[in-house]
Amino acid sequence: MKNHQNNQPAFRFTMLIIMVFVAGFIQGMLLPLLAILLEDAGYSSAMNGLNAIALYIGVLIASPFIEHPVRKFGYKPVISIGLICVIITLLLFPLWQSFWLWFILRLIIGIADNMVHFSTQVWITSTSSKAVRGRNVAIYGLAFSAGFAGGPLMTHVLSIDERLPFISAALFCAIVWLFMLKLKNEWPDNAIETAQQSGTLGRYWLVIKWAWFAFLPPLTFGFMEAAIHGSYPIYAMRMNIDIEWISLILPAFVIGGVVTQIPLGMVSDRLGRKRVLLILAFLGALIFLSMPFYEQHLGAVTLAFLLAGGLLGSFYSLGLMYMLTLFLNNFCRLGMC
């Protein structure tokens, strides 16, 4: 029987980028969508925030355990299972509007989405040559940001049918899953024996020891992502801001990051990751601190979110590249590369 699986570098990279886009889209859709639905159902902002945390609890639960199945079974099965779990969970959301059921479903989404996120991220970085790794990681960050920007737009279809966003997203994931089946499975490179011998916890300790500072930008990005897409819609609705405006303000932050993702990656190649990250953090902080002075002017708020996203939207990808640089430099300094 003819093997129809394809792992040409261009096709593989394109499919992985699409899957990263899907992971971002699901997160970007669920945070504001469920926040609005729970607010309309009369839940307090504290309960609403508690429900939003479930997705990130799922991410935290899954993170330490994904590496082993990826090494044992390869990237493709882990991504496939993750996408199937996302599809099933999305279809369960509109069946019952229950706070704790939605908490559990968000938890599952967090685990499944992280399976897709982690596997695609490692697959891209491990198969990219040093000459194009920075560019590919920047495109990876751009794809996730673009998906995250598109997610909040699904709030527009709530007026048609509350089930429609979930069904549409599940259908989108199913189509991507079918195309993903054309990829040939691969496994992470296990060439570095010293890293293997240290075990999973040993590898985690080395990364924390050598590159802890590089974790701060992704941590900041995650906090901003959760606060902007999970908490700001509740605040905006209580300020009597229309859902139409909210669906424009939220993507503005991510669109800013999409526009500057690759340029900032190129600038950091020249000036250094640490210097660029520090400059961006300072300018981004100034923008957020100034927002209370014009929060009633929605055009100005949208522009501020756009500028803040342009400055801070690359924190995840820049932090990832900075972590990789620090880790490889220390690895080579000890003669292990």
pLDDT band at 327 (very low <50, low <70, confident <90, very high): confident
Q: What is the DSSP letter of 184?
A: P
Whether 173 contacts 86, CB under 8 Å: yes
User: Which residues are 6's β-sheet partners?
Assistant: 183
Mapped onto helix, strand or coil, the DSSP state of residue 41 is coil
Whether 264 contacts 313, CB under 8 Å: no
Q: Which amino acid is at 219?
A: L
Of the candidates 181, 131, 146, the residue with the CA atom closest to the CA atom of residue 261: 146
Per-residue pLDDT reduced to its tens digit, 228-273: 877 888 888 888 888 788 888 888 887 888 888 878 878 887 888 8
Query: How many percent of the chain have pLDDT more than 70?
Result: 90
Q: Is the pLDDT confidence value at 165 over 90?
A: yes
Whether 145 contacts 24, CB under 8 Å: yes
Which residues have a Cβ under 8 Å from the Cβ of 160 and sit 6 or more positions away?
A: none
Q: Which amino acid is at 244?
A: E
pLDDT in the model for residue 170: 95
CA distances to 142, 171, 261, 299, 301 from 308, rounded to whole Å, are 16, 32, 13, 14, 10
Mean pLDDT of 288-303: 90
In the block, tokens 């303000």 appear at: 249
* Segment of 16-30, 229-243, 309-323 carrying the highest mean pLDDT: 16-30
Residue 60, token pair as written in the block: 């935290």
Of the candidates 215, 218, 211, the residue with the CA atom closest to the CA atom of residue 312: 218
CA distances to 200, 287, 289, 298 from 294, rounded to whole Å, are 48, 11, 11, 8
Per-residue pLDDT reduced to its tens digit, 188-243: 875 444 444 445 566 667 767 777 888 888 888 888 877 887 788 888 888 888 87
Q: Which amino acid is at 147?
A: G
